[in-house]
Amino acid sequence: MKLIKAKDYEDLSKLAATYFIKKIQYSPAMTIGLATGSTPEGMYRYLVKDYKENHTSYRNITTFNLDEYIGLDGSNNNSYRFFMNNHLFNHIDIEKSNVHIPCGTSKDSLAECATYDQLIKEHGGIDLQLLGIGGNGHIGFNEPGSSFQSRTRIVELTDKTRRDNARFFNNPEEVPTEAITMGMGTILESKEILMLISGEGKREAARMLLSGNVNEDFPASALHKHANAIVIADEAALTDVPADLLKAYL
Ligand code: F6R
């Protein structure tokens, strides 16, 4: 795992966007995996800015998002589909038919999960997967204890994750209790992974991740098993990581 240190959130967002843009320009028909949440918002802002100024095209790009709440459809402004349309897809030239996000209102969620993994396979796998990290180390909605072999599936959200995400909802009770998430095994099959960690709220998660212990109780630690994983973290997130440990990754 490689670590790139960013000064602050803006710097991290710019670095991540530049990384994606270069990859897309080099491979304009690549398949990318995307995340939602506060962390990638800045990066999406830079992708949109670049699209407007430099016309980097997404016409032949295919995307797969990590997760979606069960019970929310795309018109609900807390759904991850709404988030992605609002922050990225509505502002670039991507074909909506090339956008994949698990359907949170499918009548058959189990079939939806199996189909999602199958679709990823049919597209030759994910070339570059973007990840954030939860305070408890979750990636996608793979909560602590998720098997590193798990596939796209229905999961119950922990109280911590529901509390963390309540800031987006009018009322904490509105936060769904279940979601569909790409599995750990599905994510780890991506050819390359780029994880973003920003802010003091992620200090403990960054410290745990960079400690190097690989354990299913801290899902993000699976990145140590991946041959091509890069973490971009800002100074605020890295404050509690001992300097000698940091050096080992730089
Ligand atoms: C959402 C996702 C989650 C978030 C994580 C951090 O698609 O994959 O694992 O990355 O919950 O969220 P933020 O960035 O809001 O701190």
Question: pLDDT tens digits, residue range 162-206?
Answer: 998 999 999 999 999 999 999 999 999 999 999 999 999 999 999
143 has catalytic annotation: yes
- pLDDT at position 101: 98
Task: Answer whether 39 contacts ligand 1 (Cβ < 6 A).
Answer: yes
What is the DSSP annotation of 4-48?
Answer: EEESSHHHHHHHHHHHHHHHHHH-TT-EEEE--SSTTHHHHHHHH
- pLDDT at position 112: 96
Q: By CB neighbour count within 10 A (0-12 exposed, 13-18 middle, 19+ buried), where does 90 fall?
A: exposed
d(C-alpha 71, C-alpha 87), whole Å: 21
Task: Answer whether 68 contacts ligand 1 (Cβ < 6 A).
Answer: no
Query: What is the CA angle 161-166-171, rounded to 5?
Result: 140
Atom of ligand 1 nearest to the CA of 40: 14
pLDDT band for position 233 (50/70/90)? Answer: very high
Percent of the chain with pLDDT over 70: 100
* CA separation, residue 211 to residues 120, 214, 219, 229, 242 (Å): 31, 9, 13, 16, 9
What is the DSSP annotation of 138-189?
Answer: -BTTB-TT--TT--SEEEEPPHHHHHHHGGGSSSGGGS-SEEEE--HHHHHT
**pLDDT of residue 7 exceeding 90:** yes
Residue 131, CB half-sphere, CA atoms under 13 Å: how many? 31
**pLDDT of residue 118 exceeding 90:** yes
**What would the two tokens of residue 241 be?**
């990581």
Q: How far apart are the first and last CA of the chain?
A: 9
Cβ atoms of residues 65 and 40 within 8 Å: no
pTM: 0.97
136 has catalytic annotation: yes
Question: pLDDT tens digits, residue range 24-46?
Answer: 999 999 999 999 999 999 999 99
Which residue is catalytic, options 68, 112, 117, 138?
138
For tokens 């095994």, what's the residue? 185
- pLDDT at position 37: 95
Helix, strand or coil, per DSSP, at residue 121: helix
Type and span of the H or E element at 234: strand 229-234
Q: Tell me the pLDDT of the chain averaged across its residues.
A: 97
**pLDDT of residue 160 exceeding 90:** no
Domain 2-249 maps to which CATH number in 3.40.50.1360, 3.30.420.130, 2.30.110.10, 3.20.130.10?
3.40.50.1360
**What would the two tokens of residue 168 be?**
């987006």
* CA separation, residue 195 to residues 28, 107, 118, 162, 209 (Å): 21, 32, 24, 21, 11
Alpha-carbon radius of gyration of the chain: 17
